[in-house]
């Protein structure tokens, strides 16, 4: 099935259009000639957002392109059932914001667009629930879909693992080195970029338990190219969560830390998304993934950070929002559930979830100290299976079938007439 599209708001078709074109097979999207509608055409108009704040009215007031600039002819096609509008923010997964969605509903109503023909496409699976709670029946004006740009990108990247230019170290013999205890010189791997709340707390806890020297940790320092949580913000969180008060001195230490880097990459920010240095996984027993989201309860998603660990067969604890492991299983991966306690998956309290994840990390490190060969034997089968699933192309095929094709088919049905 091929879906005709045009795009507005950017000089490229956007992240979703790029991602669905990443094999297997030809892209299910086809840009109409000249990126223009024509009389009688049935199509999806991709509104390339890329940055959540661009949806605010202030964007238009500042003179930048805003969705309210869409041509009247396109709106007429939407009213006539020949087109749908797709707000593509598949590169981000922000929480619901009434200041964005309430005006959007007003705009839809003012232009007499039929309910459900404006599609919201982002990573956060909680958007529809949050919109219904805030907007009531008006939420039905928008059709909420989810799409994980960075997850699809990882599926594509790992399907090409046999190519020598993909990733960091050569992959020949990678699995053997990954599962060989003689290659391990650290207990856990913790890769961090933007200094978000969960990451600062994790580093503080590693200091408190005197485990930093037994871990491979990257951290760019509290000042970074992408803004994160300041020391003051983390301390305010501790004010409201006294059970973590013991971390306060170490938060100050983290604030003074110089940058730590355990790989060979000099890129920063989003440029790190596709970067992988397999050697740091070979040297460590498991990952403590500090996800982009931890402090925001209104977000359900994972990013490439968690996906990389699973694809690489590296057993992973995830400090993120609830349901992270459930999402990975939904992508076709197996969890190391016989090894890890996943109680934190269903825990909504931030402080409690942090303590549960870190306590589990401590428990695993103790098990490894006691019997490293036995521990490695316990994770071996699932690690091999997950790595094979990713590098064989099965992950890519699964995502393309379960998400790409079904999502495109739903859009095509809306404009079929």
| 411 belongs to a structural domain | no
- The CATH number for 198's domain is 3.40.50
pLDDT at 165 (0 to 100)? 43
| 405 belongs to a structural domain | no
pLDDT at 236 over 70: yes
Residues 157 and 143 in one domain: no
What band does 226 get if pLDDT is binned at 50, 70 and 90?
low
pLDDT at 117 (0 to 100)? 97
| 347 belongs to a structural domain | yes
In which domain, by residue range, is 218 found? 151-393
Looking at the chain, the whole-number percentage of residues with pLDDT higher than 90 is 80
| 285 belongs to a structural domain | yes
Q: What is the DSSP letter of 247?
A: G
Q: Which of 125, 147, 169 is the last residue of a domain?
A: 147
179-186 contacts: CB < 8 A, separation 24 or more?
179/376, 179/380, 179/383, 179/384, 181/372, 181/373, 181/376, 183/282, 183/283, 184/282, 184/283, 184/284, 184/285, 184/372, 185/283, 186/214, 186/215, 186/216, 186/283, 186/284, 186/285
pLDDT at 265 over 80: no
Lowest mean pLDDT among 202-216, 251-265, 350-364: 251-265
Number of domain units in the chain: 2
Write the pLDDT tens digit of every residue in 26-45.
899 999 999 999 999 999 99
Q: List Cα–Cα distances, 358 to 131, 135, 251, 340, 348, in angstroms.
A: 33, 38, 16, 12, 15
pLDDT at 24 (0 to 100)? 82
pLDDT at 160 (0 to 100)? 85
Q: What is the DSSP letter of 402?
A: I
pLDDT at 164 (0 to 100)? 45
What band does 170 get if pLDDT is binned at 50, 70 and 90?
very low
pLDDT at 229 (0 to 100)? 82
pLDDT at 355 over 90: yes
Q: Which of 147, 164, 198 is the last residue of a domain?
A: 147
Looking at the chain, the whole-number percentage of residues with pLDDT higher than 70 is 94
Instruction: Report, as an integer, the average pLDDT of 377-400.
Output: 96
Q: Which of 97, 127, 147 is the last residue of a domain?
A: 147
Average pLDDT value for the chain = 92
pLDDT at 262 (0 to 100)? 82
Instruction: Report, as an integer, the average pLDDT of 241-251.
Output: 96
pLDDT at 139 (0 to 100)? 97
Residues 215 and 118 in one domain: no
Residues 360 and 388 in one domain: yes
pLDDT at 166 over 50: no
Residues 162 and 136 in one domain: no
What band does 86 get if pLDDT is binned at 50, 70 and 90?
very high
For the question of whether the overall pTM of this predicted structure is more than 0.85, the answer is yes
């Amino acid at each position: 099935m091929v879906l005709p599209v045009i795009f507005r708001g950017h000089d490229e078709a956007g992240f979703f259009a790029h991602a669905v074109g990443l094999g297997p097979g030809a892209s299910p999207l086809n840009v109409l000639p000249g990126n223009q509608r024509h009389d009688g055409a049935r199509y999806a108009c991709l509104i390339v957002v890329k940055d959540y704040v661009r949806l605010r009215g202030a964007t238009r007031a500042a003179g930048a392109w805003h969705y309210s600039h869409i041509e009247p002819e396109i709106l007429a096609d939407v009213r006539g059932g020949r087109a749908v509008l797709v707000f593509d923010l598949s590169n981000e997964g922000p929480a619901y914001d009434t200041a964005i969605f309430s005006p959007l509903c007003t705009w839809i109503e003012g232009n007499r667009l039929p309910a459900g023909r404006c599609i919201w496409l982002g990573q956060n699976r909680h958007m529809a629930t949050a919109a219904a709670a805030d907007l009531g029946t008006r939420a039905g004006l928008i059709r909420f879909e989810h799409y994980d740009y960075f997850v699809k990108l990882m599926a594509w990247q790992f399907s090409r693992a046999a190519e020598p230019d993909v990733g960091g170290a050569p992959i020949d013999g990678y699995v053997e080195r990954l599962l060989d205890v003689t290659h391990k010189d650290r207990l856990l791997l913790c890769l961090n970029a933007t200094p978000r709340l969960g990451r600062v707390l994790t580093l503080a806890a590693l200091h408190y338990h005197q485990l930093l020297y037994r871990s491979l940790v990257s951290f760019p320092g509290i000042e970074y190219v992408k803004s994160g949580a300041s020391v003051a913000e983390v301390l305010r969180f501790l004010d409201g969560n006294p059970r973590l008060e013991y971390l306060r001195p170490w938060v100050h230490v983290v604030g003074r830390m110089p940058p730590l880097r355990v790989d060979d990459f000099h890129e920063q920010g989003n440029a790190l998304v596709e970067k992988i240095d397999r050697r740091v996984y070979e040297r460590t027993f498991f990952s403590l993934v500090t996800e982009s989201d931890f402090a925001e309860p209104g977000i359900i998603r994972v990013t490439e950070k968690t996906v990389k660990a699973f694809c690489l067969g590296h057993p992973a604890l995830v400090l993120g929002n609830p349901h992270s492991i459930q999402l990975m299983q939904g992508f076709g991966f197996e969890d190391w559930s016989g090894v890890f306690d996943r109680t934190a998956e269903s825990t909504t309290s931030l402080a409690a979830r942090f303590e549960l994840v870190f306590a589990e990390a401590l428990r695993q490190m103790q098990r490894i100290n006691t019997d490293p060969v036995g521990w490695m034997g316990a994770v071996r089968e699932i690690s091999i299976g997950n790595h094979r699933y990713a590098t064989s192309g099965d992950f890519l095929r699964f995502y393309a079938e379960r998400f790409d094709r079904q999502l495109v088919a739903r859009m095509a049905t809306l404009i079929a007439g």
